Amino acid sequence: MELIYRPRRLRSSDTLRRMCRETRLSADSLIYPLFVDETLSGKRPIESLPGQYHYGLDTIEEAVAECLQAGVRRCILFGIPSHKDALGSSAWDPNGVIQQAIRKIKAAYPDFYVVTDVCLCEYTDHGHCGALCGDTVENDTTLPLLAKTAVSHAQAGADMVAPSDMMDGRVAAIRKALDENGLSNVPIMAYSAKYASAFYGPFRSAAGSAPSFGDRKGYQMDPHNRREALKECELDVKEGADIIMVKPALSYLDIIRECADAFNVPMAAYSVSGEYAMIKAAAQAGLVDEHRIMCESALSIFRAGAQILITYYAKELADAIQKGEIG
């Protein structure tokens, strides 16, 4: 048979397959989520996220040391405060849980890159992402609170802030506040296309951030919508976002691809708690090979167009990359 082109030629050996890979992965693209609990001494397993922990302020350096040992040099911090109120005032307290955690990390590991999640849901007593007017989150009243929170994180030493609240105009408000406080070099990674997803369940249990009434469909995006994601990303870029993000990841690979193609800024994706928990549960039941599924899932997100991945598997993926099993 006379075949001029035989695609299988380039699959004939491991060496050749590696040389011809179209998607490359690096541990430098991974960000590990860390949960810091102001009320905790030591560390405590997170029941809803097997293999993950709540860390007290006395053990946060230990968590960072484990990241560095695995080859992960970046984290995103989520705080669990000792005090909650209607406005979430602990979020911008100079001695709040995140602010203290940043200072401890930077004192011990000054080159470790710290991103902070900027939202109010973990700090409000009602669990919503902003100030309430009746049963509705009041968008414009929330903006200065988010801006104060971002500034307080940056003043404590955060390298980057990541607003996840989905309020209209929050990137512009945060950028303005950072610049006015001499923090113009602090980048913003915006949760630009954040969907009202069922995949967040384990995180909300871990962070104590589930809303006490209603849901977040009034500000997070409808999973039916594709064009709206492009609009949200465009608005964030115009307002000064340095990096845009799609969340969740695996069920929104089409959105990652479209937004990565449309905008000339780095694209991040958050492989969320429900994605992680499903793999863990299936592996525990003996239904899948956890390591291979982990690698293939991460690869699909990067292949779709992400350049940065927030993932609970960051340490394991970094090890797999180092061993040449992926990337």
Work out the pLDDT band at 276, boundaries 50, 70, 90: very high
For 5-25, the pLDDT digits (tens) are 999 999 999 999 989 888 999
Return d(Cα 189, Cα 268) in angstroms, integer: 8
Indicate which residue of 104, 247, 280, 315 is catalytic: 247
Return d(Cα 46, Cα 207) in angstroms, integer: 10
11 within domain boundaries: no
195 within domain boundaries: yes
pTM above 0.85, yes or no: yes
For 31-63, the pLDDT digits (tens) are 999 999 999 999 999 999 999 999 999 999 999
For 85-121, the pLDDT digits (tens) are 999 999 999 999 999 999 999 999 999 999 999 999 9
Return d(Cα 294, Cα 317) in angstroms, integer: 8
Kindly report the CATH number assigned to the domain that includes residue 69. 3.20.20.70
Q: What is the mean predicted confidence (pLDDT) over 255-278?
A: 97
**Is position 247 annotated as part of the catalytic site?**
yes
Return d(Cα 202, Cα 211) in angstroms, integer: 14
124 within domain boundaries: yes
275 within domain boundaries: yes
310 within domain boundaries: yes
DSSP per-residue letters across 23-85: ----GGGEEEEEEEETT-SSEEE-TTSTT-EEE-TTTHHHHHHHHHHHT--EEEEEEE-S--B
Return d(Cα 46, Cα 3) in angstroms, integer: 56
Beta-sheet strands, E only, within the chain: 30-37, 43-45, 53-55, 74-80, 113-118, 132-133, 136-137, 160-163, 189-194, 243-247, 267-271, 308-311
Q: Which two tokens stand for residue 35?
A: 């949960």
103 within domain boundaries: yes
172 within domain boundaries: yes
Q: What is the dihedral of CA 202, 100, 158, 50, to 10 degrees?
A: -20
For the chain, what is the domain count?
1
Peptide bond into 248 cis (omega under 30): yes
17 within domain boundaries: no
What percent of the chain is predicted at pLDDT more than 70?
Answer: 99
What is the bridge-based pairing of β-strands 74-80 and 113-118? parallel
The predicted structure's pLDDT at residue 207: 64
- The answer to whether the CB of 256 falls within 8 A of the CB of 246 is yes
Indicate which residue of 148, 194, 280, 315 is catalytic: 194
**Is position 194 annotated as part of the catalytic site?**
yes
Return d(Cα 320, Cα 225) in angstroms, integer: 35
224: nearest Cα among 250, 251, 202: 251
203: domain range? Answer: 24-322
For residue 218, what are the contacts with CB-CB under 8 A and spacing of at least 6? Answer: 136, 137
The predicted structure's pLDDT at residue 32: 98
